[in-house]
């Protein structure tokens, strides 16, 4: 009897020391979590509890209240920054020239083809402006106020927030294009905080789009001498 018990104990020890058999097909068994003392053996981690990949993480959109606050802030910045002074064409009014708000921030009118600017005599005057206050000429060349509405073809509707911020920071069209010419005060705008520039962009993309293709500005070096 004692001999038989010893044999059973020995066989049990051998069985514990031997590696577990592989399942059919040679695949390794799923690892099990070692249970804590006093608890039942844990089951393998289910596949549906696996952590998601970083690519699956989606950044939530800002709440509507935050978006409304950005638009309100952007509208305020556009007003105190005088964006309408140049980017909204002037028309004759009862008290003199006034902005045509039906074309708010749509830039120099496509229908208004400007002739070559007249030459100024020597003296302290060195720049000119159109009656609409959307076309300008000076030592920098000829410049036209851009269409700031969210029209995707002729305005900034295709500009991302980053593109807009880069343009205002660098003084270049779309951030890497032609120089933004006077009288656009981009150096002042570049001093705005990132949040203010984002708010300004958010406001501009919220206003009604106006289809109006503004002519390209002509730097002084590109002007043909008369």
| H/E stretch holding 198 | helix 194-204
Mean pLDDT of 157-167: 97
Judged by DSSP in three states, 92 sits in strand
| pLDDT for the residue numbered 24 | 52
CB-side exposure of 48: number of CA atoms within 13 Å?
Answer: 0
174-226 per-position pLDDT tens digit: 999 999 999 999 999 999 999 999 999 999 999 999 999 999 999 987 554 44
Backbone φ, ψ for residue 124 (5° rounding) = -75, -15
Q: pLDDT category, 6, cuts 50, 70, 90? A: very low
Distance CA 116, CA 119 (A): 9
In a domain? residue 25: no
Residue 19: C-alpha distances to residues 34, 151, 161, 221 (Å) = 17, 70, 60, 83
In a domain? residue 70: yes
In a domain? residue 13: no
| H/E stretch holding 3 | helix 2-17
Asked if 142 contacts 182 with a C-beta cutoff of 8 angstroms, the reply is no
pLDDT for residue 123 is more than 50: yes
In a domain? residue 210: yes
Asked if 119 contacts 226 with a C-beta cutoff of 8 angstroms, the reply is yes
| pLDDT for the residue numbered 161 | 96
Scanning the structure block, which residue is given the tokens 């029209």? Answer: 151
Asked if 132 contacts 213 with a C-beta cutoff of 8 angstroms, the reply is no
In a domain? residue 89: yes
Can you give the residue range of the structural domain that contains 78?
64-110+128-215
12-66 per-position pLDDT tens digit: 444 444 445 555 555 555 555 444 444 444 444 455 544 554 554 555 677 888 9
Mean pLDDT of 70-74: 98
In a domain? residue 169: yes
Distance CA 49, CA 51 (A): 6
> Cis link prior to 189 (omega < 30° from 0)?
no
| pLDDT for the residue numbered 225 | 46
Mean pLDDT of 134-148: 97
In a domain? residue 18: no
In a domain? residue 165: yes
Domain count, the chain: 1
Distance CA 202, CA 22 (A): 61
The CB density around residue 150, as the number of other CB atoms within 10 Å, is 19
Distance CA 111, CA 180 (A): 22
pLDDT for residue 144 is more than 70: yes
| pLDDT for the residue numbered 55 | 55
**Residue with more model confidence, 29 or 73:** 73
pTM for this structure? 0.71
| pLDDT for the residue numbered 58 | 54
Asked if 90 contacts 131 with a C-beta cutoff of 8 angstroms, the reply is yes
| pLDDT for the residue numbered 124 | 93
Order of strands, edge to edge, in the sheet holding 141-144?
128-129, 135-138, 141-144, 218-219
101-118 per-position pLDDT tens digit: 999 999 999 999 999 999
| pLDDT for the residue numbered 62 | 75
């Amino acid at each position: 009897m004692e001999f038989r018990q010893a044999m059973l104990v020995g066989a049990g020890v051998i069985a514990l020391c031997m590696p577990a058999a592989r399942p059919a097909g040679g695949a390794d068994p799923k690892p099990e979590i070692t249970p804590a003392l006093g608890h039942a053996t844990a089951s393998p981690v289910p596949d549906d509890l696996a952590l998601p990949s970083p690519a699956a993480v989606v950044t939530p959109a800002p709440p509507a209240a935050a978006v409304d606050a950005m638009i309100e802030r952007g509208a305020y910045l556009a007003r105190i920054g005088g964006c309408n002074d140049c980017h909204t064409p002037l028309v004759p009014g009862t008290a003199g020239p006034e902005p045509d708000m039906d074309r708010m921030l749509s830039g120099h009118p496509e229908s208004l083809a400007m002739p070559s600017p007249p030459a100024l005599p020597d003296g302290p005057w060195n720049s000119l402006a159109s009656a609409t206050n959307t076309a300008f000429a000076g030592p920098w060349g000829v410049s036209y106020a851009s269409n700031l509405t969210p029209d995707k073809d002729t305005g900034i509707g295709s500009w991302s927030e980053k593109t807009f911020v880069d343009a205002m920071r660098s003084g270049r069209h779309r951030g890497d294009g032609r120089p933004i010419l006077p009288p656009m005060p981009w150096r002042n705008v570049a001093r705005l905080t990132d949040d203010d520039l984002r708010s300004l962009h958010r406001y501009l993309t919220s206003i009604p789009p106006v289809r109006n293709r503004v002519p390209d500005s002509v730097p002084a070096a590109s002007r043909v001498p008369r």
